[in-house]
Structure 1
């Protein structure tokens, strides 16, 4: 348990930032889920559109410190290749 004033303040700040990051992560997952659902539905146009909307959200998560840059790039790359394969088929 925090004892000093500074450690109490840091605990409050951590609590607030954790809630913000949790909301950001949840929002990003929602966008990714929309892409996944479009791919599963076999709709290439909807999947491409959903991916186009999800990419900036995911990279915003990188700038805010929610995701690592390579993790976001990997997710985008894998989704893009699946969308591309769907449009070819």
Structure 2
């Protein structure tokens, strides 16, 4: 349990940031899910459009500290190759 005023404030801030990070992570996962669904349906145009919308969201997650840069790059690369392989 936090004892000092500083540690109590830090606990409150951590709680608030955790909620914000959870919302951001959920939003990014939703964008990724739309790409996955478009790939599963076999619609190349929809998949490409969904990927184009998901890329800036993923990179925003990197700048906000939600994901590591290489993790986001790996996810984008793998999704892009799967979209490209649709024919």
Q: Which residue of 2 aligns with 1:62?
A: 62
Can you give the 5+ residue segments of structure 2 that lack an aligned partner in the other structure? none
Could you tell me the TM-score, scaled by structure 2's length? 0.99
Distance 1:48 1:62 in 2: 21
Q: Which residue of 2 aligns with 1:31?
A: 31
Q: Which residue of 2 aligns with 1:6?
A: 6
Number of aligned positions between the proteins = 87
Q: Which residue of 1 aligns with 2:43?
A: 43
Q: Deviations over 1:18-74 (max 9, x none)?
A: 000000000000000000000000000000000000000000000000000000000
Distance 1:17 1:67 in 2: 15
Question: Runs in 1 of length 4+ with deviation above 2 angstroms?
Answer: none
RMSD: 0.3
| 2:71 corresponds to 1:71 | yes
Q: Partner of 1:47: helix, strand, or coil?
A: helix
